Amino acid sequence: MFSPKNILVPTDFSEASDRALNQALDIAEQFHSRIYLLHVIIPLPTISDMEFHPVIDQQELSESYLDEQEQLAGLVKQLVDVGVNATALIRQGDPVKSILSEARRLDAELIVVGSHGHGLLFDALVGSVSGGILRQTTLPVLIVPVRGI
């Protein structure tokens, strides 16, 4: 029987991520798994990458990062409060690459990710994090849809 010891749950603090975390919590409680809750920050483009030069308010950016850290800490506290061994992680980079890199580093045996359900056309043109994970990993991946649960 499949009994994951380490579960990686990427989060962007959306409803889809919340649903994925709830599914991961059910699995973790059943199998006494550890949950690694990962938030990936997409780095700001460099000036040479931009066609325009937006004004970046460093104070606003710092507050946004602190807010994300607090949200992540709050989610981990909720998990720990119900008896689940959980760890918060923040990385910076491409979401798919960062998630897969952390999965390898942590010896994750399952990735649980939410799907925003933008639709086939959106995913075909833009791609999706969950789709990218599926295409590039050999690990089991549980994709939790935002609709229908």
CATH of the domain at 90: 3.40.50.620
The answer to whether residue 119 sits within a structural domain is yes
The answer to whether residue 66 sits within a structural domain is yes
d(CA 114, CA 149): 11
E-only strand ranges, the chain: 6-10, 34-41, 85-92, 110-115, 141-145
pLDDT given for residue 117 in this prediction? 64
The answer to whether residue 1 sits within a structural domain is no
The answer to whether residue 100 sits within a structural domain is no
Query: What's the pTM?
Result: 0.85
Identify the domain containing residue 115 by its residue range: 6-44+57-95+106-145
pLDDT tens digits for the chain (149 residues)?
Answer: 789 999 999 999 999 899 999 999 999 999 999 999 999 998 776 655 556 555 666 677 778 888 999 999 999 999 999 999 999 999 999 999 999 999 999 999 999 998 876 655 545 544 588 888 988 999 999 988 876 54
The answer to whether residue 101 sits within a structural domain is no
The answer to whether residue 135 sits within a structural domain is yes
How many domains are there within the chain?
A: 1
d(CA 47, CA 39): 25
